[in-house]
Amino acid sequence: MPSPSPLRSIAVFSGSNTGFNPAYVAGAQALGREIARRGIRLIYGGTDKGLMGVIADTVMTEGGEAVGIITRLLFDLGHLHPRLTRHEVTPDMRSRKTRMAESADAFIALPGGLGTFEELFEAATLTQLGEHHKGVACLNIGDFFKPVRSLLDHAVQEGFMKAEHSQMLVFDTDPAALIDALEQWQPPTATKWIESPRPRV
């Protein structure tokens, strides 16, 4: 048996579709197995669709806990996964994200679309501002998040972000290495503001 993880729960953001590359499903399954193996509770969006359903199914098949936090709209549409350990229904997307953030000790993004990107960057922004001290990571299946890494580097080069905040996001292709990094993660101590010359009027 592995030693207990310092992370009791991880929120996973992911697509409600599975994507065209079979590696995305395989990667979500590998992450689900690793989460369950370490005895970490999965916090996620609560549906049975796409990669969201894949990781929840895998965690529960491996004997782990899967907690779904779903909006009233999606719940009323019948999108709730029927076999979850437990679930919560929130009034809207904003309250759903708040509950996921409150319930998790760290965050991992799988490939996804607009919702996944928005959740990823909101969690990272709250870490940057010090509103929470929780690590944020991307499982970089098939280099899906390579453009995100490039965008963060570009923001640093253009003077909109400090390198400490660009580098605080963890990227890895291996679920075990990714969670290892989150278990050892420490928040940056730099403030977000960059001193620069005031523009001439």
Strand partners, 201: none
Q: What is the pLDDT of residues 29-81, one digit of tens each?
A: 999 999 999 999 999 999 999 999 999 999 999 999 999 999 999 999 999 99
What pTM does this model have?
0.94
**DSSP characters over 121-144:** HHHHHHHHHTS---EEEEE-GGGT
Contact criterion met (CB below 8 Å) for 68 and 44: yes
Q: How many CB atoms lie within 10 A of CB 127?
A: 22
Q: What is the pLDDT of residues 141-171, one digit of tens each?
A: 999 999 999 999 999 999 999 999 999 999 9
- Tell me the domains of the chain and their CATH numbers: 9-184 (3.40.50.450)
Q: Is the pLDDT of residue 2 over 80?
A: no
Q: What is the CA radius of gyration of the chain?
A: 17
